[in-house]
């Protein structure tokens, strides 16, 4: 994004989101078999998802896709507010 090759950045973001979805499905499958102390792995994947979405929103704004950026912002808001309360605490205004 910083070098200005926004199409390439968008392709890499799409690949990262696809791999993240694979990771989340594997994590949900294994979650029933893991001891309770390993259930915090969803926090790590949600944090990674938020970071990827932030870059995707920046890329969409720079490319002029404001509607798409608002939709992605809603997805990030959904993850922060409904999926993981720890993340909403970490992303509070300073």
Which has the closest alpha carbon to 42: 66, 50, 73?
A: 50
Rounded to the nearest angstrom, the gap between the alpha carbon of residue 45 and the centroid of all alpha carbons in its chain is 8
CB 84 within 8 A of CB 42: yes
User: For 70-94, how does the pLDDT look when each residue is reduced to its tens digit (9 = 90+)?
Assistant: 999 998 888 877 766 676 666 666 5
Residue 38 pLDDT exceeds 70: no
The model's pTM is: 0.74
Please provide residue 60's backbone torsions phi and psi, each rounded to the nearest 5 degrees.
-65, -40
What integer is the mean pLDDT of 44-66?
90
Q: What is the mean pLDDT of the chain?
A: 80
Which has the closest alpha carbon to 52: 44, 64, 63?
A: 44
């Amino acid at each position: 994004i910083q070098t200005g090759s926004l199409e390439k950045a968008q392709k890499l973001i799409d690949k990262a989101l696809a791999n993240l979805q694979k990771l989340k499905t594997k994590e949900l499958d294994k979650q029933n078999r893991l001891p309770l102390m390993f259930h915090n792995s969803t926090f790590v994947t949600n944090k990674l998802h938020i970071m990827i979405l932030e870059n995707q929103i920046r890329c969409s704004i720079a490319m002029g896709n404001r509607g798409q950026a608002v939709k992605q912002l809603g997805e990030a808001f959904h993850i922060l507010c409904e999926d993981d309360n720890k993340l909403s605490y970490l992303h509070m205004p300073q």
